[in-house]
Structure 1
Amino acid sequence: MAELRPPVDALGEALHFLRMSGTFYCRSELTAPWGLDLPATEGSLMFHVVTTGQCWLEVDGVEPRLLQPGTFALVPHGAGHRLAHERGGPARKLEELSEELVSERYSILRHGGGGAPTTLICGAVRLDHPAARHLMSLLPGIILVEPSNSPRMDWLQSTLRFMAAEAQELRPGGETVITRLADVLVVQALREWMAQDTQAKSGWLGALQDPDVGRALALIHREPTRPWTVASLASSVAMSRSAFSARFTQRVGEPPMHYLARWRMYVAHSALKDERPGLGELATRMGYQSEAAFSRAFKRFMGVSPGAVRKTGSPTLRA
């Protein structure tokens, strides 16, 4: 009898790498006519929730979208964008407007001409894991989760109302609550997009959903320092070496060992930020015979030396 393999949720496991930290949150109380020009936030994503009124969201190269109460809008790439009461309307740069700083990471912005009101909750959320930035690079310029009559969406709307209430009152611990709610909402927005958009069925995201390639990816993600070979990965998914290598390369876009090496560099990057180990120790952990070989591989994949990451903890990474 063939061995029964339990199902693996490789895509769900990949979403665990979306370790986010709240960079800044703002409640915007706006009256028509108004427009906001928001700067780019490298290494971050931004979200907007309309609690009252409506507005237009404009990102260069993307069709403008109308946001209404209950809509959760995600701008995944950290791109600069505009919010305005009318499509194509003039917008003031955010840094030109005065804000009421409620705390170090939370403010209230009041702006506009005294007409029809719109209230927004906005957030800039930093992505801590390089794999999360890779995931974000695969997403469209805007992701919207619209209000719906679907029972699946009831809890989402409840979460949005909870976030709006916390932003209105900002009781002790309110920032922490909003940050955690933002984590949930971002992941849910990605799940909704993946369920509906054919783009999510191709490339790395599609590979994660492939029964065999997804299982191999999950094994690499769980145990990146294990001495994997193409043969051992193929055996783990009950495929021949040649068939597995061809299928993995076709679905993921790179050969298994190249992907493994790159993923190890993601893991090494996180270790350098969080643990600050010695480079020799980390090289050995990642399976390299010398610190020099590890450093060359790290710079080739990450675009920056491991020493720079260890020193600063927050370099600019290439996608």
Structure 2
Amino acid sequence: MDILNQLFSTFKVTSQIFHNGQYCGNWSIDTSGTQYMSFHIVNHGRCFLTVEDDPEVFTLEKGDVVLFPNDSKHCITNDESFSQPINQAETISFSEGIINDGTGLICGYFAHNHPLIRNVTAYLPNKVLLKRADLTQKNSSLTFLLEALLKESLSGDVGVELVMNKIAEALLALIFRQHLPTSQGIIAAMAHPQLSKVIQAIHEEPEAKWTVDSMAELCFLSRAKFSDLFKSVLDESPMNYLTQWRISIAYRMLADEKVSTLQAALACGYDNESSFSKAFKRILGISPGAVRAGESSINIA
């Protein structure tokens, strides 16, 4: 299983499109605050974008996509002066026909219900802006998915929401593949000729009795050189990465399969429930039992 498959299956990222319509007149929106990756796709018309406190203004046109990997505060509006009140305008359904002087927007977020996905998105910029014109020139696979999504958004057919969300999930996978940096982070580690062996082994056998020495042996490096290399690429120690991956697996088992705390502990390399529970709460700020019960108040330590 390649790294994208591992990440998506572990974090279970799903698209939730919450707006598929158009604005006319003066309007302004900011959809940040969900703690998820959010995205906007222009269906028709033109609008303007600013991100955080950056004064730079970006023009968005039909087929352009903007993704906010870390839920960055933003403003999208028809008003170049950015003077319109946020989230006050009413939206108009596409079923009423395309409004020529309006702006159509597909807006959504990628839900994941997993706190450690931030370890991946932290390596992405505060925004990923994809211009339709650039994608078309490159004959990118993203172009075909975007065209399908835009067409589906206007269809009104049965199952349109399901189809649009599945297309959006495929778009995210391609964006991750093209935009996750290859110099640092998990993608870089998986591409590294030495570190990839360790990452793959940890992912395949999280329950193994790993030590820094046993990881270093897989890379044919000394303990010190291995630790320095690992830290330089992943910005954390080997044992800390191992702990976080184990907790990721345990979280999924507890939340989805409702296994017992002891079962999760043993499956992830812990000898007893007590040490596992302490590590789990230290990393996620919530107990294994609370996750199994469906509580979602999670804070990353």
Using the size of structure 2 for normalisation, the TM-score is 0.86
- 1:165-314 aligned at under 5 Å gives the runs 165-194=151-180, 200-314=182-296
Asked whether the equivalents of residues 30 and 117 of structure 1 are also in contact (C-alpha less than 8 Å), the reply is yes
Q: CA deviation at 1:231?
A: 3.0
Q: Which residue of 1 aligns with 2:40?
A: 48
Equivalent residue pairs, number: 296
1:83 corresponds to 2:65 = no
Asked whether the equivalents of residues 26 and 84 of structure 2 are also in contact (C-alpha less than 8 Å), the reply is no
CA shift digits 1:104-133 (9 cap, x unpaired): xxx7799xxx88321111112212344433
1:121 corresponds to 2:106 = yes
5+ long unaligned stretches in structure 2: none
Of 201-210 and 23-32, more deviation after overlay is shown by 201-210
Q: Which residue of 2 aligns with 1:37?
A: 30
Q: Which residue of 1 aligns with 2:67?
A: 74
Q: CA deviation at 1:11?
A: 6.3
Q: Which residue of 2 aligns with 1:3?
A: none
Q: Which residue of 1 aligns with 2:50?
A: 58
Q: Structure 1 pair 64/151, CA: closer, same or farther in 2 (3 Å)?
A: closer
Asked whether the equivalents of residues 32 and 38 of structure 2 are also in contact (C-alpha less than 8 Å), the reply is no
Q: CA deviation at 1:142?
A: 0.8
User: In 2, Cα distance between the equivalents of 1:166 and 1:91?
Assistant: 30
Q: Structure 1 pair 179/158, CA: closer, same or farther in 2 (3 Å)?
A: same
Asked whether the equivalents of residues 10 and 209 of structure 1 are also in contact (C-alpha less than 8 Å), the reply is no
User: In 1, Cα distance between the equivalents of 2:255 and 2:11?
Assistant: 16
Asked whether the equivalents of residues 99 and 109 of structure 1 are also in contact (C-alpha less than 8 Å), the reply is no
The RMSD of aligned alpha carbons is 2.8
Q: CA deviation at 1:39?
A: 4.3
Q: Aligned partner of 1:192: which letter?
A: Q
Q: Structure 1 pair 109/309, CA: closer, same or farther in 2 (3 Å)?
A: farther
User: In 1, Cα distance between the equivalents of 2:272 and 2:125?
Assistant: 40
CA shift digits 1:63-98 (9 cap, x unpaired): 43221222111011223422101334234443x455
Q: Which residue of 2 aligns with 1:21?
A: 14
User: In 1, Cα distance between the equivalents of 2:100 and 2:149?
Assistant: 25
Q: CA deviation at 1:206?
A: 3.2
Q: Structure 1 pair 13/293, CA: closer, same or farther in 2 (3 Å)?
A: closer
Asked whether the equivalents of residues 50 and 68 of structure 1 are also in contact (C-alpha less than 8 Å), the reply is yes
Asked whether the equivalents of residues 18 and 127 of structure 1 are also in contact (C-alpha less than 8 Å), the reply is yes
Q: Aligned partner of 2:30: which letter?
A: D
Q: Aligned partner of 1:290: which letter?
A: N
User: In 1, Cα distance between the equivalents of 2:13 and 2:156?
Assistant: 20
Q: Percent identity?
A: 29
User: In 1, Cα distance between the equivalents of 2:195 and 2:26?
Assistant: 52
User: In 1, Cα distance between the equivalents of 2:138 and 2:162?
Assistant: 27
Using the size of structure 1 for normalisation, the TM-score is 0.81
Q: Which residue of 2 aligns with 1:318?
A: 300
Q: Structure 1 pair 61/218, CA: closer, same or farther in 2 (3 Å)?
A: farther
Structure that is richer in strand per residue = 1
User: In 1, Cα distance between the equivalents of 2:116 and 2:280?
Assistant: 14
Q: CA deviation at 1:309?
A: 1.2
